[in-house]
Every structure is written in C-alpha cells, then in structure tokens.
Amino acid sequence: AASRIYNFSAGPAILPPEVFERAASAVRELRTNAHADDGEGIGLSLLEISHRGADFAAIHAKAVALVHEVLGVPESCEVLLLQGGASLQFAMIPLNFAVPKRVACYVDTGAWSAKAIKESVTLAETRGHETAVIASSKASGYDHIPALPEALPAASSYVHVTSNNTIFGTEFEQLPDVDAPLFVDASSNIGSRPFGLERATLGYAGAQKNLGPSGVTLVWYQREWAAQQPSPAGVPGILRYATHAAKGGLYNTPNTFGVLVLQLVLEWVRDNGGVTAMATRNQGKADALYAALDASSLFTAKAKPGSRSRMNVVWTLGGAPDDEREALTKRFVTAAAAAGFAGLKGHRSVGGCRASIYNAFPPEGVTALCEFMREFERTQ
C-alpha cells in the first residue's frame, strides 16, 4: 500500500522494495541464503538466533565482504558494524585518536560537523589535545563547501570532514587530499558515487540512509595505521576500536537485524551495477531537480553550484514577504503530501524544503515531483 507514496525522508529513509521483502521473510524464517530464494529455511526467525552461531556469522562475514567489494573500502581496513549511530563516532574518534598536545582538525560544513567538533572540544578539556576548525562555511549559512587551507596546523593528528551535509544539502565533489590522516563522516552519501572514500584513513556512516536501517553504523579504518597509534589512557573498552576489532567485530551483541539488512542493501547495489551505476542514476535525479529549481521563480535552491548535494536537495520558497514565506512553504508541503510526496519539509533548523533522493529513490519520483512543483507554481 505504501508503494504509492514517494518517500523523500532524510533518514531513516527509503530502501529498495526487494530488501523490505527479503528482510520481512528473514524475520518470519531465516534462510541459509537470505539474498536468494534457493536457501533452506532454518526453522527460526533472524530475530531469535544467537550472534555467535554459524548462521549469523555467515551473514556478518558476507556483510563485511560486501563493504569491501561494493563500497570500495580497501582490504587493508578493519570493518566494524557498531551501534550508537554516527553520533557515537563523533566521540569515539577523539577518544581514540586525538593525541595530547596535538591538534585534531575539523572542517565545519554544517550541523553534523559542528556536533563532531563539539565532542572533540569537550574531550580536549580533560585529555589535553587541541581542536582546530581549519575551514568553515558557517558565516554564509553553510551554503557551500569551503576551500581548505594550503597548510595544516603543525602537529595535526587528523582532519575530519563530513562528505555530505544532510541538512544543508552540500557535498564535497571529491574528498580532499590533506597532509594528515583523513577521517570522513559519510553517513548521507556513502555508496552514492565514487568520491574518494579509499583515501580515508577512517570512515563511518550511520546505515539509515544508503545502507539499511537505523541502529547499525559502518566504521572502517586502516588497520596498520591504527596499530601504530598510542593507546589512549582512561578510555573504557567498549569505546575503543581495538576492543571491537580484537573480537572480529562481535565484542558485544550487534544489531543482528540491521547487519542482515545492510547485507541485503549492498547486494542490491551490486546487482544493480554497483556504485558507478548508482552515480549515474543519482546524478540524473539531482540534475533534474536542480534544473527545475533554477528555472523557477518561486523555488530557490539553497546550495551554491559546485557544492550541491546529489542526495539532499534543499530549497526555499520565495516571492513573498518573510512573514508569508513560512505559510507558503507550509501550503506547498501540505499539498505535496496530499499528492503522495512525503517528507519534503526541511530540517527544523533551516526551514524551507528538502528532498532526500538516496540510492533507492526512483527517478520517476523526481520527475513526478518536478511536474508537481511546476503545477504548484503555475497556480499560485
């Protein structure tokens, strides 16, 4: 029944219909091959089996293998499927890899970057590292990706960037080359196109946009590099990457359901041409939507050309005095919802509208939205 609604939610977000089917089937009864119909039923639901048993071990191993194969995460990286969301990584990163008297560098491109920075600043008070914001687009309302400085501060431990800014609708064309280990929060554009992920020393992504359900977070980092870092003092085991890695990613109970869905999503990406095919499809969707916005005198895209996200397209409604703008936006979002376009309300901190068009979002949904917007404008 839900298939008649185009879902523009920013996350948790749309997933391929086949994945919903296979995940539902695995909840009823897990098959030895959850991706295909040929496996044998094991007589138990995915939700009731041990994470230490052979059936889940196979799912976990397949998911990790697909992270390398489909997402292009180098084999030299440790891959962990953790809980706690991308937000836990904001804290785990400085806890594990900020070094006393050295500088943790951050690029501030939006609300999520700012939260990552805040955790580093908080921890710096007791741990003795420094936090430097080496570039920021805050002054212009985060409408673009700022240029990075020619040189980093001396004694930089790492440079942290957010590859795609979910709320403001901007993204790095390619991850930057920097003279320090590059850390990337790729939560909202991982797997959407090749953008240099293989250059990251550490990366992470909450699954609930392009990878699966909420409650599982993909983390990877260069194994040899990590082994050379000083062991941080006073960090509980659960918050150390090394603890999880030493137990093959199964130190404590993972989100078993989330791991299976992530496996199914990556199989869907692989079977549909991989990340390069996703890139072509995503570029087509984004181009159509930005063209409609740029051609309109009612709607205005927020992000500057050159920084525009292919995943989250953010716009405002203009042509009205400020006090009427909000009512107009509300009218548009309500009319769109009634016409079957769900989730177009912008983030509460920004206002306006946002269409999140992740990998699984169908191109025909964008065509239909552009048509609806033209009609809305014509009848104003």
Number of C-beta neighbours around residue 3 at 10 A: 8
Q: Which of 120, 187, 263, 309 binds ligand PMP (CB under 6 A)?
A: 187
Under rule CB under 6 A, residue 11 binds ligand PMP = yes
Residue 206 found at the interface with ligand PMP (CB under 6 A) = yes
Q: For residues 282 and 82, give the distance between their C-alpha atoms in angstroms, rounded to a whole number.
A: 27
Pick between residue 87 and residue 229 the one whose CB is nearest to ligand PMP: 87
Q: With contacts defined by CB under 6 A, how many residues of the chain interact with ligand PMP?
A: 11
Beta strands in the chain (DSSP E): 6-7, 77-82, 103-108, 130-136, 156-162, 164-165, 170-171, 182-185, 202-206, 217-222, 299-301, 312-317, 341-342, 353-356
- 87 contacts ligand PMP (rule: CB under 6 A): yes
CB 141 within 8 Å of CB 349: no
The stretch near ligand PMP (CB under 6 A) out of 24-32, 83-91, 253-261, 282-290 is 83-91
Applying CB under 6 A, the span of 80-88, 99-107, 247-255, 261-269 interacting with ligand PMP comes to: 80-88
Q: Which of 85, 153 has the CB closer to ligand PMP?
A: 85
220 given a catalytic annotation: no
Is residue 76 part of an annotated ligand binding site? Answer: no
Residue 309 assigned as binding residue: no
Q: Report the candidate in 259, 257, 273, 267 with the shortest Cα–Cα distance to residue 79.
A: 259
Catalytic residue among 62, 112, 268, 285: 112
Distance CA 184, CA 182 (A): 7
Catalytic residue among 185, 220, 268, 315: 185
Helix (H, G, I), strand (E, B) or coil at 110: coil
Question: Could you give the string, one character per residue 104-123, with x where binding to ligand PMP holds by CB under 6 A and - elsewhere?
Answer: --------x-----------
The DSSP element (H or E) to which 224 belongs, if any, is: helix 223-227
185 part of the interface to ligand PMP, by CB under 6 A: yes
112 is catalytic: yes
* Residue 32 assigned as binding residue: no
Across-strand partners of 105?
132, 159
Give DSSP secondary structure letters for 151-162: SPPTTEEEEEEE
- Which regions of 166-273 does DSSP assign to beta strands (E)? 170-171, 182-185, 202-206, 217-222
User: Is 112 known as a binding-site position?
Assistant: yes
Q: Which residues of 208-281 form beta strands (DSSP E)?
A: 217-222
- Told to judge if 185 belongs to the known catalytic residues of this protein, a careful annotator would answer yes
Choices 44-52, 134-142, 180-188, 325-333 (CB under 6 A): range interacting with ligand PMP: 180-188
Q: Annotated binding site for pyridoxal 5'-phosphate: which residue ranges?
A: 86-87, 112, 166, 185, 208, 252-253
Active-site residues, by number, are 112, 185, 209
Q: Which residues bind ligand PMP (CB under 6 A)?
A: 11, 85-87, 112, 162, 166, 185, 187-188, 206
